[in-house]
Structure 1
Amino acid sequence: MAAGPPPSQQFCVAEERSGHCAVVDGNFLYVWGGYVSIEENEVYLPNDELWLYEIDSGLWTMHLMEGELPTSMSGSCGACINGKLYIFGGFDDKGYSNRLYYVNLRTRNGTYRWKKITDFKGQPPTPRDKLSCWVYKDRLIYFGGYGCRKHSELSDCFDVHDAFWEGQIFWGWHNDVHAFDTNTQTWFQPTIRGGVPPQPRAAHTCAVLGNKGYIFGGRVLQTRMNDLHCLNLDTWIWSGRIHISGEKPKDRSWHTLTPIADDKLFLFGGLSSDNVPLSDGWIHNVTTNGWKQLTHLPKSRPRLWHTACLGTEGEVMIFGGSKDDLHFLDTGHCSDLLIFQTQPYSLLRLCLDCIGKNASLLKNQISWLPSKILPQVLKKITFWAASNHRQEKKAEIEKQEQINVT
């Protein structure tokens, strides 16, 4: 049995990007949208491309999409419910969006078809980008974001940043909560029954643990924050700012927060108040109400406006984003996938990885394995072959760059 790597042309990688959407469903990471910088111009990536990363094999594939395509955008909010990727909001060449689309990721014929939701009941949020979303009880629950409102739409949930008086259009930050029930196709704005909400903000991050929706940091007016808030998604009561003793992460925006256990959240990256891209990682335990910084993360891989998704074995998969301050040096968009192991892998995973790493030594014994486990072994062989191939290509590029400099 041949256990060597597949042809090198199969080892493609999703294009570099920032401000994109990413979700995990089953054994795949799905990536859509975002933008890159070409000759100091912001270029939105094709709206008909869906990139798939198979977690077991480590291979990327690109699929063309059909149907009612969203416009090419950045800053949209993506979330997955029951195998459907929902995209809301975002910013394109024409301004801010408050349109909602979905695509079935579990298609049987391999065709991914966008559907724009137009037959909804209720009132959607005003147009905006850089908002966040909690998924709870088949509902998409959105918070905050930066966008525009008419003079008649101004309220206490909006901090004005700039105004255009012709037509009386205002731009600024939100702290309102809107929910979309995917079963009844209904928008509604829940009545907040108590507590103090966070200040209006954008480029923050959120995560769900149980029936609690957590929010951390983000851009508030002319500053960035490191505050933590919690909304009970059953009673609609805010916790107010959660007071934490001990060390805590610094102020930031464009970061990610990922639930990694029933009582733990993983914070990574972002842009600090002094405009420094961050590469630090933190674990917050909601039971003990404390932060702990991880000390073994690479300090040379800062990321901001990236995505973070939880994998099948508790690993956090960071894709894309920028390694530069997007306000001043918008050139450092990334295409690599950073995988952070936040808990021990299962014994099966460890065995599969061992075989995959040593496939050339074990090639005569691999065919002896049980037929039930053989497909998983072959995917791990592919995974490590692809990983080695990318490392070799990276080393070649770095070597050529050094030659060009000298």
Structure 2
Amino acid sequence: MDDFGIYAIFGVNGPPQRLLSAEGSCRVAVAVPPSVRQVVLFSSGPWGERICVNAELNDTDNMPITIGKLTPYNKCLSWEQWEEETWTRSVILNVTLEGGNLVKSEQPELILAVTEFTPKDTVAPLAARELNGKRKREHLLEEEEDKYHLTKRGEENMCPNGTVEKTTPVRKGRDQIKGGQKLFSDGAIKKTGEAQGIVGRTPPQSAARTKSRQAKTPTQTAPLVSPSGRWGQTLCPIDAQTAILIGGQGARMQFCKDPMWKLCTEDMSWFAAETLAEGPTPEARIGHTAIYDPDSRRIFVFGGSKNKKWFNDVHILDTQSWKWTMIEAQGKVPPLAYHSCSMFQGELFVLGGVFPCPNPEPDGCSDSLYIFDPNLSIWYQPIVTGDKPSPRSGHSACVIQERKIYVFGGWDTPVCYNDMYMLDLGLMEFAAVETTGKAPCPRSWHGSVVISDTKFLIHGGYNGDRALSDTFIFDTDTNSWTEVTLPHLSLPRAGHSIITMEADAHRCISEEKNPGSISRTLLVFGGGDNEGNFYSDLTTVSVEELLAAISRA
């Protein structure tokens, strides 16, 4: 007998209520009263051939506030009103089951969470006549509510350790401070139009929503064929032609309801991958790191944040068995976001980042180095000597020839950096790097990637005022910067992902010219422009073209 069901609990004192059953509809809409401040959704019974349950909390205009997904391996979701701060009035919980043999109904069934009365008719949630009356009453409250959100919205997901009132002097070194500038420009908070599948705000903005509801993105009904626009995600190569996209935040500062994708570079195609892997998937987040260990063929996801929640958990995705596991690690590491993570000899080197202090307000940056040993499942802090970087977040770290880690940029409000440090992995000694050539201006949330044995690239980022579009290459042999001009990378963006992959389309040509050589391609995904747009495009540039641009510069 199939006892499968989807249940919900509304409020801390509410009893479980059955929303979907084995013989019923595959869709349901629940009107959640304003008095309910917590919602828990869970499944019970065998899943059988059922794939997943999609859940959305929508406002009275049927715009998504937050989303989630139940799977056979992740059987519970919860929301809290003070966590999802746009949840300010009555909301609708829409639940849809995919897979199995449930009956498809034309309209979702309406169920009231508080059973004070039972509706006589089965109608769509909050019919138009009800919404019209609500809108009239809500119109007078709209501007006051927007003012509240503009000043009270949690800011750790836009500027991890800053406030609107602070200013940002930028400086080249630790002791040289230049003129100040406003951290968030007034022009950055504006109404947004429609972009390429991505309407919203980029990381540094402090507004929770615009005054115009036209900027909202309609609820996604058709299956996505590529990731939605986002920033703060990770894109992690796992083999010569495959990369995994994890996490991110997009329009209306909502965490992406399509948090995991698989990219095949043979034809540059995307595949939704959230339901491919077994085990407990990581909770939605931004500012985390994901790094692949080619020896064990595992992806390690660490840290990040979600609204006012901070993480110091370690999730591992085995790319052979496609199974998630969460590690119960020994040792102490603080919750961190916007840190850097590098792999060296099978261990994770986590440097810097922002942490909640006092919890959950983000006002502290770290200058500590933590190492995670996967074999022992333990965190420890090594003894490090030399001149280490000052506390910072949003910086980059590149491992060169498995001997040195180069750390660039980042910020610790109100200071933005463009200094360079090097960690000698043999001596465990930091040293400031004296560079030559035109250096990038101070920035954080930039993209960075190694493009040769002695060179790495810096692109874009946020300078405390605007998103950047410039590109620089650093040569570790000469400690010199070279700025290169690339039309492909002319779009300002911050919080994006940059990786390098093999380019099969050019392999034959490369092997004809240089037998045994394989051409590589730079891939740039996502990010935002600080003007209201989030990107979902995938830009490619030949690494050979990048290296050739150095000689032309």
- 1:248-267 equivalence runs, <5 A: 248-267=439-458
| 1:245 Cα deviation after fit | 2.3
Deviation track 1:370-399 (CA, whole Å, cap 9, x = no partner) reads xxxxxxxxxxxxxxxxxxxxxxxxxxxxxx
| 1:84 Cα deviation after fit | 1.2
Q: Secondary structure at the match of 1:253?
A: coil
TM-score, normalised on structure 2?
Answer: 0.52
Identity %: 25
> Which residue matches 1:99?
313
Q: CA separation in 2, counterparts of 1:299 and 1:215?
A: 22
CA 1:259/1:271 → structure 2, altered by over 3 Å: closer, same or farther?
A: same
Q: CA separation in 2, counterparts of 1:302 and 1:19?
A: 15
Q: CA separation in 1, counterparts of 2:543 and 2:362?
A: 43
Q: CA separation in 2, counterparts of 1:121 and 1:145?
A: 20
Q: Secondary structure at the match of 1:284?
A: strand
Q: CA separation in 2, counterparts of 1:170 and 1:31?
A: 26
> Which residue matches 1:317?
523
| 1:344 Cα deviation after fit | 6.0
- 1:4-403 equivalence runs, <5 A: 12-26=225-239, 27-38=241-252, 42-46=253-257, 49-63=259-273, 64=275, 65-82=277-294, 83-107=297-321, 112-118=322-328, 120-123=329-332, 125-149=333-357, 163=358, 171-192=363-384, 194-210=385-401, 211-239=403-431, 241-273=432-464, 275-298=465-488, 300-312=490-502, 313-324=519-530, 329=531, 331-343=532-544
Q: CA separation in 1, counterparts of 2:257 and 2:486?
A: 36
Q: CA separation in 1, counterparts of 2:366 and 2:541?
A: 32
Q: Which deviates more from structure 2 when the two are superposed, residues 83-92 or residues 59-68?
A: 59-68
Q: CA separation in 2, counterparts of 1:255 and 1:296?
A: 16
Q: Secondary structure at the match of 1:343?
A: helix
Q: CA separation in 1, counterparts of 2:281 and 2:243?
A: 20
CA 1:11/1:339 → structure 2, altered by over 3 Å: closer, same or farther?
A: farther
> Which residue matches 1:396?
none
Q: Which amino acid aligns with 2:315?
A: Y
> Which residue matches 2:20?
none
Pick the structure with more strand per residue. 1
Equivalent residues of 1:11, 1:59 under 8 A apart = no
| Higher CA-based Rg | 2
CA 1:61/1:136 → structure 2, altered by over 3 Å: closer, same or farther?
A: same
Equivalent residues of 1:280, 1:297 under 8 A apart = no
CA 1:170/1:29 → structure 2, altered by over 3 Å: closer, same or farther?
A: closer
TM-score, normalised on structure 1?
Answer: 0.70
Deviation track 1:281-320 (CA, whole Å, cap 9, x = no partner) reads 1110000110111123346411100111111233221111
| 1:17 Cα deviation after fit | 0.9
Q: CA separation in 1, counterparts of 2:283 and 2:339?
A: 18
Q: CA separation in 2, counterparts of 1:343 and 1:10?
A: 36
Moved over 6 A (4+): none
Q: CA separation in 1, counterparts of 2:420 and 2:486?
A: 24
| 1:69 Cα deviation after fit | 2.1
Q: CA separation in 2, counterparts of 1:81 and 1:289?
A: 28
Deviation track 1:107-140 (CA, whole Å, cap 9, x = no partner) reads 3xxxx3321101x3322x2012100011110111
Equivalent residues of 2:371, 2:379 under 8 A apart = yes
CA 1:215/1:297 → structure 2, altered by over 3 Å: closer, same or farther?
A: farther
Q: CA separation in 1, counterparts of 2:343 and 2:523?
A: 19
| 1:247 Cα deviation after fit | 1.1
Deviation track 1:186-215 (CA, whole Å, cap 9, x = no partner) reads 2111111x2111110001111100210111
Q: Which amino acid aligns with 1:341?
A: S
Equivalent residues of 1:281, 1:297 under 8 A apart = no
Equivalent residues of 2:526, 2:536 under 8 A apart = yes
Q: CA separation in 2, counterparts of 1:176 and 1:223?
A: 18
Q: CA separation in 1, counterparts of 2:394 and 2:487?
A: 23
Bigger RCO (CA 8 Å, 6+ sep): 1
Q: CA separation in 2, counterparts of 1:223 and 1:12?
A: 40
Paired residue total: 303
Q: CA separation in 1, counterparts of 2:438 and 2:404?
A: 23
Equivalent residues of 1:281, 1:294 under 8 A apart = yes
Equivalent residues of 1:206, 1:256 under 8 A apart = no
Runs of at least 5 residues in structure 2 that lack an aligned partner in the other structure:
1-221, 503-518, 547-553
Q: CA separation in 1, counterparts of 2:409 and 2:362?
A: 23
| 1:53 Cα deviation after fit | 1.1
Q: CA separation in 2, counterparts of 1:133 and 1:191?
A: 18
Q: Which amino acid aligns with 1:86?
A: F
Q: CA separation in 1, counterparts of 2:316 and 2:265?
A: 23
Equivalent residues of 1:258, 1:309 under 8 A apart = yes
Q: CA separation in 2, counterparts of 1:97 and 1:252?
A: 24
